[in-house]
Amino acid sequence: MTQPARRHVSRRHALKSAAALAAAPYFVSSRVLGANAVPPSDRIVAGAIGTGGQGTSIMEDFLGFPDVQVVAACDVDAKHREAAREIVNKKYENQDCRAYADFRELTARTDIDVVSVTTPDHWHALCSIAAANSGKDVYCEKPLVNSIGEGRAVAEAVRRNARILQTGSHERSGSNARFACELVRNGRLGKLHTIRVNLPCTDGHHKQARALLQMPPEESIPEGFDYDFWLGQAPLAPYSPRRCHFWWRFNLAYGGGEMTDRGAHVIDLAQLGGGFDETGPVSIAARGVRNEGSLYNAFWDYQFENQYANGVRMIGESNPEKPRGVHFEGDAGSLFIRVHGGDLLADPASLLDEKIAENELHLGRSPGHTRNFIDCVKSREQPMASAEIGHRTASVCHLNNLSMLLGRTLHWDPQAERFIDDDEANRLITPTMRAPWSLG
């Protein structure tokens, strides 16, 4: 079997290169500033780690803000990083954006204030921790991480370094969603007893993934793609394009399937509306199906029930006849939030005419998820989807995946973040990382 190409860059060389970059003076072209330029003292300097489809989208959000200046793009795929660099240089009409293959060289730069982390999920933790440890604020795509243990490590790194982190669960920035959750939290449905989540798995890309019933043949690694670095902490595996860009999300070594993909949006709203942003369920029973022997070993067609300490049940399914979203049920009414789009449906319908009184709980409003991040970088206030919130939402997704993987009901202590009397499940909280990568 052909071995994946390896990156022959020593740690000493990487650190030496990064130190040289950090020591070098940084010059801003006058064309960047423009007639209505934001003064340098008010400008946020940004770098992008991961510049595929979603990474480029978040980077372009940053490029659209007059008080943000993008100066660096990083990706293990040369085509991605060079395309991103060209987008930045075209925006500023210069050649100042630097491209990197190693995120550590980017995070070592002392002139960068914030980074976006829009890599495959198995890289979120390592990149975010490196950024926080180097004094940078982070916009990290959802789900925050690919395991419960990684999430706690990210949240602790952000806290320890007094950083701002926004998880890319942008649905919670929608005004309709925030209003709906205010109605629930302020008792307009009466006593909340059930939250229903629907995660249909019938989109076109789901059908394509489900149609792959075996391991695809090994192929040659494309020129300019550092596949060994892409694998990172995950086990060595033969290269196939079906393993990497976009499709990685259906292999549990790199992502969590639809449970963590759109689940990180829908379950995130369930957490917000239920008031569970700093906790999680205590009982998790989930089941699903998957194609044994396929490269895509994530689960489909979920049925799950999570119970919280206050007795609220979150019941999930993958019903193709119903829209994707979250439905809150109380003893005096119910309320549905559609994901994506944020459309609301209430029973009684008059719930949507309610006003939240001044003395009631207000969840605030967002100017937009990426804009909220930049505003919080300046104010040092917590953003809409902080590291702790992102970690707790991702944890619920991972708990359901672990219940399906182990084939049994799990009992969870959300304060200690450990399974109760279950050593086998506790060993799966944090994955074993391939050397030289580690959370420490």
Q: For residues 338 and 92, what is the distance between their CA atoms, to the nearest angstrom?
A: 38
16 has pLDDT over 50: no
Residue bearing tokens 């925006």: 91
> Looking at residue 39, what is its pLDDT?
79
Mean pLDDT of the chain: 93
Mean pLDDT, rounded, for 135-160: 98
Q: For residues 414 and 405, what is the distance between their CA atoms, to the nearest angstrom?
A: 20
| Percentage of the chain modeled with pLDDT above 70 | 92
Mean pLDDT, rounded, for 389-399: 98
30 has pLDDT over 70: no
> Looking at residue 297, what is its pLDDT?
97
Type of residue at 86:
E
pLDDT band of residue 40 (cuts 50, 70, 90) is confident
pLDDT band of residue 14 (cuts 50, 70, 90) is very low
Structure tokens at 369: 């998820």
Mean pLDDT, rounded, for 173-195: 98
> Looking at residue 38, what is its pLDDT?
77
The per-residue pLDDT for range 293-315, each reduced to its tens digit, is 999 999 999 999 999 999 999 99
> Looking at residue 19, what is its pLDDT?
42
pLDDT band of residue 440 (cuts 50, 70, 90) is confident
Residue 434: exposed, middle, or buried by beta-carbon count in 10 A (0-12, 13-18, 19+)?
A: middle
> Looking at residue 15, what is its pLDDT?
40
- The Cα-based distances of 435 to 3, 63, 287, 439 in angstroms read 17, 36, 33, 11
Q: How large is the angle between the packed helices 148-160 and 124-133, nearest 10 degrees?
A: 10
H or E stretch including 251?
Answer: none
pLDDT band of residue 352 (cuts 50, 70, 90) is very high
The percent of the chain in helix, strand and coil, each rounded to the nearest 5, is 35, 20, 45
Q: For residues 225 and 363, what is the distance between their CA atoms, to the nearest angstrom?
A: 44
Structure tokens at 350: 């008059």
| Contacts of 197 by beta carbon, 8 Å cutoff, 6+ apart | 263, 266, 267, 270, 314, 315, 316, 317, 325, 326, 327
User: Are 274 and 184 contacting, i.e. CB atoms less than 8 angstroms apart?
Assistant: yes
Residue bearing tokens 């998880």: 167
Type of residue at 68:
V
Mean pLDDT, rounded, for 79-99: 98
Structure tokens at 17: 């290169």
| Contacts of 195 by beta carbon, 8 Å cutoff, 6+ apart | 270, 273, 274, 312, 313, 314, 315, 326, 327, 328, 329
Q: What domains are there in the chain, each with its CATH number?
A: 11-171 (3.40.50.720), 174-358+387-426 (3.30.360.10)
Q: For residues 45 and 105, what is the distance between their CA atoms, to the nearest angstrom?
A: 16
Structure tokens at 28: 């801003």
17 has pLDDT over 80: no
- The Cα-based distances of 287 to 313, 314, 359, 399 in angstroms read 16, 14, 42, 11
Q: For residues 366 and 174, what is the distance between their CA atoms, to the nearest angstrom?
A: 7
Q: For residues 108 and 117, what is the distance between their CA atoms, to the nearest angstrom?
A: 15
27 has pLDDT over 50: no
The per-residue pLDDT for range 101-131, each reduced to its tens digit, is 999 999 999 999 999 999 999 999 999 999 9
Q: For residues 344 and 325, what is the distance between their CA atoms, to the nearest angstrom?
A: 10
- The Cα-based distances of 265 to 97, 202, 230, 252, 385 in angstroms read 32, 17, 25, 19, 11
11 has pLDDT over 70: no
Helices (H) and strands (E) in the chain, counts: 15, 15
Structure tokens at 309: 């300490």
pLDDT band of residue 7 (cuts 50, 70, 90) is very low
Backbone torsions φ then ψ of 285, nearest 5 degrees: -125, 115
The per-residue pLDDT for range 315-339, each reduced to its tens digit, is 999 999 999 999 999 999 999 999 9
Could you tell me which of 274, 206, 270, 242 has the C-alpha nearest to residue 400?
270
Backbone torsions φ then ψ of 414, nearest 5 degrees: -70, -15
